[in-house]
């Protein structure tokens, strides 16, 4: 919609973007009510306002904060001049979001679900074609595993890979070499597989890391770090810590934060504790005996996954 604001050289003057966490109701009203400057249209974009009023899971609260000054939004929206287009953008919202209910009475609501699974890999392949380059299926899968459904990041990585390949097909080796998250992704997938009791899958991901030059000590450290983060994330959720405070509390951001919170939502705390102690035992074993570090890591994976399977059957 930004491109619809013309002339282009006055676009900066007639397009305003607000951070929904900070914007005040009076500030938004004043901007929306201002006539466009030498243009037929003014665009006002508000990002993340509605999520401020999302209901916390398991709580009886209407949202993290009361409607307060925003109670007047429903009365104001019908008075917005025809020359102003107001766009509210946000993440996933519940049907009971009080501000969403108000806005829906005066606006068109559009939902853009992110592609997942095979759909995400297909999106990567189509995007690569749009950039004038082919990407191998295995490379597309590796890229989506590493980045996840972050379309802007995926597009940026595709552009980087296309420039690196200079017109040739993007290979799995290219992704491994250039995409910074691939190593972390293998750790996440190994942790997933261990927690779910799939030792074969976990061992394959660990083998990939070792083939790429990672030492057994590095793998143990990364596994231990991720398990520790998952336990901390589960504890923060139990305390009712808001989502936006999770990153600073855990000391991670971006892709690692998103994957950690996803895993914390499904992982069982008892399984995480059992895996933590297996990691401690393996670390002591490798430090007290010479050699056979890779074998110790393989045994850790097999034992931890077996523990997960045993607990799952008991339930």
Structure tokens at 261: 């919170």
CA dihedral 78, 79, 84, 85 (to 10 degrees): -20
**Long-range contacts, stretch 140-145, CB < 8 angstroms, 24+ apart:** 142/172, 142/175, 142/176, 142/179, 142/182, 142/185, 143/175, 143/179, 144/120, 145/182, 145/185, 145/189
Does the domain at 2-104 match CATH 3.60.21.10? Answer given as no
> Within 10 Å of residue 54's Cβ, how many Cβ atoms?
23
> Within 10 Å of residue 199's Cβ, how many Cβ atoms?
19
Structure tokens at 300: 């850790």
- For position 127, what pLDDT does the model report? 93
State whether residue 252 is helix, strand or coil.
Answer: coil
- For position 315, what pLDDT does the model report? 47
CATH class belonging to 118-178: mainly alpha
Per-domain boundaries in the chain: 2-104, 118-178, 182-314
- For position 212, what pLDDT does the model report? 67
Domains 2-104 and 118-178 share a fold: no
- Distance (Å, whole) CA 76 – CA 288: 70
Closest CA to 191 of 121, 276, 251, 270: 276
Q: What is the CATH number of domain 182-314?
A: 1.20.272.10
For each of the chain's 315 residues, which pLDDT tens digit applies?
788 888 889 899 999 999 998 999 999 999 999 999 999 999 999 999 998 888 654 444 444 455 678 989 999 999 999 999 999 999 878 888 889 988 999 989 898 887 877 888 899 999 999 988 999 998 998 888 777 777 887 898 899 898 887 768 899 888 877 886 666 667 777 777 777 777 887 888 788 777 767 777 777 887 888 889 999 999 998 888 888 888 888 887 776 788 788 888 878 888 888 888 888 888 777 766 655 677 777 888 777 766 655 544 444
- Distance (Å, whole) CA 227 – CA 233: 10
Instruction: Give the contacts of 211 (CB within 8 A, at least 6 positions apart).
Output: none
- For position 220, what pLDDT does the model report? 81
Strands laid side by side in the 84-89 sheet: 15-19, 42-47, 84-89
Structure tokens at 183: 């190593």
CA dihedral 91, 95, 99, 105 (to 10 degrees): 110
Instruction: Tell if the pTM clears 0.95, that is, is over it.
Output: no
């Amino acid at each position: 919609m930004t491109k619809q604001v013309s002339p282009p050289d006055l676009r900066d003057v007639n397009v305003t973007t607000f951070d929904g966490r900070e914007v005040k109701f009076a500030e938004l009203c004043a901007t929306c009510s201002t006539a466009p400057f030498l243009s037929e249209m003014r665009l006002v974009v508000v990002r993340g306002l509605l999520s401020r009023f999302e209901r916390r899971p398991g709580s009886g609260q209407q949202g993290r904060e009361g409607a307060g000054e925003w109670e007047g939004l429903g009365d104001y929206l019908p008075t917005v001049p025809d020359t102003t287009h107001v766009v509210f953008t946000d993440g996933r919202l519940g049907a009971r979001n009080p501000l969403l209910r108000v806005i829906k009475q005066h606006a068109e609501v559009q939902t853009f679900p992110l592609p997942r699974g095979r759909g995400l890999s297909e999106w990567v392949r189509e995007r690569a074609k749009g950039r004038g380059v082919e990407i191998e299926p295995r490379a597309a899968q590796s890229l989506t595993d590493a980045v996840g459904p972050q379309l802007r990041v995926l597009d940026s990585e595709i552009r980087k890979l296309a420039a690196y390949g200079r017109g040739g097909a993007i290979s799995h080796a290219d992704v491994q070499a250039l995409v910074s998250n691939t190593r972390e992704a293998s750790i996440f997938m190994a942790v997933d597989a261990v927690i779910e009791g799939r030792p074969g899958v976990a061992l394959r991901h660990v083998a990939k890391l070792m083939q790429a030059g990672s030492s057994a000590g590095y793998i143990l450290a990364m596994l231990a770090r991720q398990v520790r983060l998952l336990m901390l994330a589960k504890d923060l959720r139990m305390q009712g810590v808001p989502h936006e405070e999770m990153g600073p509390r855990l000391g991670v951001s971006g892709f690692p934060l998103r994957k950690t919170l996803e895993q914390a939502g499904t992982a069982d705390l008892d399984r995480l504790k059992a895996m933590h102690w297996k990691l401690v035992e393996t670390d002591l074993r490798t430090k007290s005996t010479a050699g056979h570090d890779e074998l110790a890591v393989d045994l850790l994976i097999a034992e931890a996954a077996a523990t997960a399977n045993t607990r799952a059957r008991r339930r």
